Amino acid sequence: MPRPRPLSGFPEFLPSDRIVEQFVLDRLRSTFELHGFASVETRAVEPLDRLSKQGEIDKEVYAVRRLHAAEDSRDELGLHFDLTVPFARYVLENAGHLQFPFRRYQIQKVWRGERPQEGRYREFTQADVDIVDVDALAGHHDVELPLVVLDAFGALQTDLRLPPVLMRVSNRRLAQGFYAGLGIEDPAPVLRIVDKIDKIGPDRVADALREDAGLDAAQARACVALAGIRTADASFVEQVRALGIGSELLDDGLEQLAAVVEAGGRYAPGRMVADLSIARGLDYYTGTVYETNLVGFAELGSVSSGGRYDALATDGRTSYPGVGLSIGVTRMLVPLLGRGVVTASRPTPTCVLVAVDAEETRGAAVDVAQRLRRRGIAAEVAPKADKFGKQIRYADRRSIPFVWFGAAGANGEVKDIRTGEQLPADPDRWEPPDSDLRPAVQTRWEG
């Protein structure tokens, strides 16, 4: 079998990069749990009709079928393309066993059959937090959720020295209320066009609104003016009012968005702005919408997006409105790892390599390693009773900081192979410095 080549769009990490990923996932998990979110994992597959009815239509779905299924049997299952649609299904299915409002986080792979390119993958990891309730979900959860995510990014900024993020927030009701006040009947194509304003600019958006959405010049101008409003506090409300459009829905949206942005200013100062250009393509959002960028890495796109969805989960009688955000872990990490911005100090958890004097005394080295492990120190035994220089090189190539000698005798010694310092040590007592116990994650900025 020839050497296999990577599959485009399916990134896999080498062990040292995987250590960085684990570090990030561990921080996300602990933040979510500190905020009282319970972990849920859903199966990878959903019925195809559920995947195609809900969510973005332009996301290409992977269909799944048993290889030995009959030739003419229809595809019935597909891989999930996000974690929101499966979560909505999970809530419907298990509603009788859950306590509402239900707070869950979910960290899993998702799959999309898109054309692979930088920042677009066919398999990638998302980390989602959502709150759902029965019939109605209090508005303060729209305020709470972005703070959870900003707290998670804050932990990454502190522990990993990742750059800070800026979350941009808007509100579908605000936009739709504004469009309704302008006399626009179908807001969907307008939202879709306005969503491109970052990419194509206000002039081409105005053109498209006239040509593709059938707006007149004044309507198009007003939509572009709305999308141009961006404030770090609630002053966007006045700016919207100054455009002279009014509707009940617009008032609702303004009030909801003001509450989110005011809390952002209080609990995550400098990390959140109201940005009325944010539309979010997904059909299922009905209120607040969020997008998040790493400051200085705009080219990575949004690293965390989401919003309120009032009608995603319903069994016809009861509906389960929710609000949530998704962090694009792979999307954020692959470029940072690829550019060497974030690295692990070693590609293995091993802190101590226990040297073997001779194959006959391997058992003594295994004993020492086991005594270290019992106290939480990761250890492995040298694979071969080579000359000590060669065993040290084994450790050095993996950046394992310590080598243990004399396992078979009464006088054990441990060598820090970085400094060359070698000291007598007892496998039941010796402790490495805290900073060496586990692989560290380092961040290096250029410029």
Binding residues for L-histidine: 82-84, 112, 126, 130, 280, 284-285
Site for a second copy in 406-425 (CB under 8 A): none
Structure tokens at 417: 């192979």
Binding residue positions: 82-84, 112, 126, 130, 280, 284-285
Among the residue ranges 42-50, 198-206, 237-245, 335-343, the one whose residues contact a second copy (CB under 8 A): 42-50
Nearer to a second copy, 317 or 429 (CB): 317
d(CA 334, CA 342): 10
Q: How many residues of this chain interact with a second copy, rule: CB under 8 A?
A: 95
Among the residue ranges 56-64, 180-188, 204-212, 216-224, the one whose residues contact a second copy (CB under 8 A): 56-64
- Decide the pairing of beta strands 272-275 and 165-171: parallel
Nearer to a second copy, 157 or 302 (CB): 157
Structure tokens at 48: 């195809």
When asked if residue 360 is in the footprint of a second copy (CB under 8 A), the reply is: no
When asked if residue 78 is in the footprint of a second copy (CB under 8 A), the reply is: yes
DSSP assignment letter at 44: S
d(CA 447, CA 429): 44
Question: Are 286 and 176 within 8 A, CB to CB?
Answer: no
When asked if residue 33 is in the footprint of a second copy (CB under 8 A), the reply is: yes
Near a second copy by CB under 8 A: residue from 162, 379, 403, 414: 379
When asked if residue 38 is in the footprint of a second copy (CB under 8 A), the reply is: yes
Measured CA to CA in angstroms, residue 363 lies from 46, 119, 387, 407 at distances of: 50, 49, 18, 9
* Neighbour tally for 186: CB within 10 Å: 10
When asked if residue 24 is in the footprint of a second copy (CB under 8 A), the reply is: no
When asked if residue 44 is in the footprint of a second copy (CB under 8 A), the reply is: yes
d(CA 288, CA 323): 8
When asked if residue 437 is in the footprint of a second copy (CB under 8 A), the reply is: no
When asked if residue 289 is in the footprint of a second copy (CB under 8 A), the reply is: no
Question: Which DSSP string corresponds to 213-256?
Answer: T---HHHHHHHHHHHT-EESSTTHHHHHHTTT---HHHHHHHHH
d(CA 9, CA 122): 5
d(CA 331, CA 31): 20
Nearer to a second copy, 95 or 232 (CB): 95
Q: Closest by alpha carbon to 334, among 91, 180, 125, 161? A: 125
Near a second copy by CB under 8 A: residue from 210, 398, 417, 443: 398
Q: How far is the CB of 263 from a second copy (least distance, A)?
A: 8
d(CA 16, CA 12): 11
Site for a second copy in 264-283 (CB under 8 A): 266-267
When asked if residue 74 is in the footprint of a second copy (CB under 8 A), the reply is: no
Site for a second copy in 90-109 (CB under 8 A): 90, 92-95, 97-99, 101, 103-104, 109
Among the residue ranges 173-181, 290-298, 356-364, 416-424, the one whose residues contact a second copy (CB under 8 A): 356-364
Q: How far is the CB of 211 from a second copy (least distance, A)?
A: 28
When asked if residue 371 is in the footprint of a second copy (CB under 8 A), the reply is: no
When asked if residue 70 is in the footprint of a second copy (CB under 8 A), the reply is: no
d(CA 144, CA 60): 32
Q: Closest by alpha carbon to 194, among 218, 216, 213? A: 213
d(CA 275, CA 290): 9
Site for a second copy in 238-267 (CB under 8 A): 263, 266-267
When asked if residue 134 is in the footprint of a second copy (CB under 8 A), the reply is: no
Q: How far is the CB of 245 from a second copy (least distance, A)?
A: 29
When asked if residue 138 is in the footprint of a second copy (CB under 8 A), the reply is: yes
DSSP assignment letter at 57: T
Q: Closest by alpha carbon to 175, among 209, 217, 124? A: 209
Looking up tokens 């959860």 gives 141
Question: Are 292 and 168 within 8 A, CB to CB?
Answer: yes
When asked if residue 113 is in the footprint of a second copy (CB under 8 A), the reply is: yes
Near a second copy by CB under 8 A: residue from 296, 363, 424, 433: 363
Site string for a second copy, 140-179 (x = CB under 8 A): xx--x------x----------------------------
Site string for a second copy, 313-352 (x = CB under 8 A): -xxx------------------------------xxxx--
Phi-psi region for residue 214, left (φ > 0), alpha (ψ -120 to 50) or beta? left
- Decide the pairing of beta strands 102-111 and 123-132: antiparallel
Q: How far is the CB of 316 from a second copy (least distance, A)?
A: 7
